[in-house]
A and B are shown apart, each in its own frame.
Chain A
């Protein structure tokens, strides 16, 4: 069991897959880390030595923003837009798509589940 960047402890998966359980590390970053430390892509977390785990931990600490820090950064960026009262900020405030997508239909990811309109019958 390896514990990297706080709460993450994925076990008998391949290292490059297990690393993607960390918020902020996807397949590409995971591969980069493995290549940098010379860990074969087929190696699994359970047969990593303690030294290798430590190396991974240090690399992530030094080069990447992950988990809580990353979430805070993202939240701060959104908050900045909202406080600024610019167009993008207003869209965030209203919970509508920010990048100019249509809202006539779709946009359900941002708007949430469709609310029925009272008094509208077929």
Chain B
């Protein structure tokens, strides 16, 4: 079920603070975060987040199409290397 509109989008407060700081300073250093559940807000556009996927941090550079999605959607938690003996489809 979708989230109630009156609550507004959910963002981890700590992350929001860091992102706004980075946006103000124009800092290009990626923001390391574990908060996969945070919504990407319009003011995040242009920033880079390193989003933890349970193993490592995946760099996600936010563009305006991503607004409204969650950070976790861009940091896959599973890696499916293909079936054994599969000739094609290896990545």
Measured CB to CB, the residues of A under 8 A from B are: 80, 83-88, 90, 118-119
CB distance from B8 to the nearest CB of A (A): 21
For chain B, the count of residues having a C-beta within 8 Å of the partner chain is 8
Contact with A along B71-91 (1 / 0, CB 8 A): 011101000000001000000
19 pairs from A and B in contact (CB 8 Å cutoff): A80-B65, A83-B65, A84-B65, A84-B66, A84-B69, A84-B74, A85-B74, A86-B66, A86-B69, A86-B73, A86-B74, A87-B72, A87-B73, A87-B74, A87-B76, A88-B73, A90-B76, A118-B85, A119-B85
**What does DSSP make chain B's interface, helix, strand, loop or mixed?**
helix
Nearest-neighbor residue (CB-CB) of A96 within chain B: B80
Question: Nearest chain-B residue to A118 (Cβ)?
Answer: B85
> Complex: how many Å from CA A86 to CA B69?
8
How close is A90's CB to chain B, nearest CB, in angstroms?
Answer: 7
| Distance A41 CA – B74 CA, assembled complex (angstroms) | 49
